[in-house]
Structure 1
Amino acid sequence: MVIRFRNRTEAGQMLAQHLTAYANRENVLVLGLPRGGVPVAFEVAKALNAPLDVCIVRKLGVPGQKELAMGAIASGGIGVLNYDVISTLGIDKEAVQVVAAEELQELQRRERTYRSNAPPLNVKDKTVILIDDGIATGSTIRAAIAILKKHQPTTIVVAVPVAPASTYEELQSEVDEIVCLQTPELLSAIGLWYEDFSQTTDEEVQEILDFRF
């Protein structure tokens, strides 16, 4: 049955119903990918009685093909590079550094805006539920997974309202569990699966995170 979500709040509430096994557990953290993943993650964290944080990751897009990731960076100087993509496309070190510098500026801006200089939650030895409002190409969620693995959580669970069937299947081998409410063969655009897919603002993300900070 095809479901269109009213908004991100409803999507989060529906997602939470499939994650009840993680409710009221001390070692569980819920991480939302800003910006659109944060309101979804908020509903899940509330339902599971789990701490909420943002997973601020910036994908390093290939010059001229920004949706294709050649790596990613995150807070604390953590970074990963996809050497297969870099080598295959013949991308030189200087080009990687230029893109990384640009994305670092946006990452630092989001850190200041969302966290007000508060440190991120420690995910080491924790069960992390990573949430977005949907997966299109999969490059951003994969970047987040790669970064998270460097912080050594015990378990990584990806939970999203909608993702292409092919990406859903591929991610099953990359994380411990993936929960997805809709897996169409052809996704087209995430917004088509929502009645209200208005852009989440920095201010809305701040308001959601205020209860923690």
Structure 2
Amino acid sequence: DARVVVLAIPRGGLPVGAEVARALGADFDVVVVRKLRSPNNPELGFGAVGADGHVELDDRLVSELGLTPDQVDAEVVDRVAAVEQRLELYRGVAPAVDLGGAVVVVVDDGVATGGSARQACLLARRGGAVRVILAVPVAPRSVEPTLDEVADDVVILSSPAEFLAVDQAYRDFVQLDDDDALATLADSRQVG
């Protein structure tokens, strides 16, 4: 049996991932990725950057948004800096878990466009995972084919017919602050 590692996309994925790791008796860690944000709508991601510096763009969306190469480059530079800052923060609490030879379950609180989830799955694969499973509570049906490209299995608990945002699936959608995220990571490491 392969070792199982649950990787949570911070911050929202941390409490979800901690519960999944606890239920599976798996190692737990964060996977740091950052969405590349549209200048006019920061919630709309046109790609993502991973902790290893890998950038993935949604070329169709970049074109639809009319983004210039300079705009894309500026956002990439900003998001790479954000990833580095996040890594420093999380690694101060918990060193990276080795993914070599592991079955990795990537978890978030939900998926909207899929950019961050795709990048997290690719990052797990580049880290040596032998199998990658993406598990999220909610996502639009439209993103599943793009997620199937990067994960061996995709588990989505709810795909509302009229998906608006991840928070619609939650009774009380609270944004975690850094202190809560770090505490969740530290507590889960002590238990696991």
**Normalised by the shorter chain, which TM-score bucket?**
0.7 to 0.9
1:79 partner amino acid = H
Aligned to 1:210, the other structure's residue is in SS state: helix
How far apart are 1:54 and its partner, in Å? 0.5
Distance, in Å, in 2 between the alignment partners of 1:83 and 1:164 is 17
- Which of 132, 146, 151 is matched with 2:122 structurally? 146
> Contact 2:33 / 2:50 at 8 angstroms: preserved in 1?
yes
Unaligned 5+ segments in structure 1 are: 1-24
2:158 partner amino acid = Q
Partner in structure 2 of residue 4 of structure 1:
none
1:38 partner amino acid = L
CA distance 1:123–1:164, shift in 2 (3 Å): same
How far apart are 1:51 and its partner, in Å? 0.6
> Contact 1:134 / 1:161 at 8 angstroms: preserved in 2?
yes
Q: Could you list the structure 1 runs, at least 4 aligned residues long, displaced by more than 6 angstroms after superposition.
A: none
Q: How many residues align?
A: 186
- Which of 89, 101, 125 is matched with 1:113 structurally? 89
Unaligned 5+ segments in structure 2 are: none
Partner in structure 2 of residue 82 of structure 1:
57
CA distance 1:118–1:207, shift in 2 (3 Å): closer
Distance, in Å, in 1 between the alignment partners of 2:34 and 2:92 is 18
Please report the TM-score for the alignment, with normalisation by the length of structure 1.
0.75
- Which of 148, 173, 182 is matched with 1:172 structurally? 148
> Contact 1:29 / 1:123 at 8 angstroms: preserved in 2?
yes
Partner in structure 1 of residue 160 of structure 2:
184
CA distance 1:100–1:138, shift in 2 (3 Å): same
1:112-162, CA deviations, whole angstroms, 9 ceiling, x for partnerless residues? 222207542222321110001111122221222233332231111000111
CA distance 1:171–1:38, shift in 2 (3 Å): same
How far apart are 1:39 and its partner, in Å? 0.1
How far apart are 1:61 and its partner, in Å? 3.3
2:57 partner amino acid = N
**Is 1:199 the counterpart of 2:175 in the alignment?**
yes
**Is 1:69 the counterpart of 2:80 in the alignment?**
no
Partner in structure 2 of residue 33 of structure 1:
9
Distance, in Å, in 1 between the alignment partners of 2:133 and 2:100 is 14
Please report the TM-score for the alignment, with normalisation by the length of structure 2.
0.83
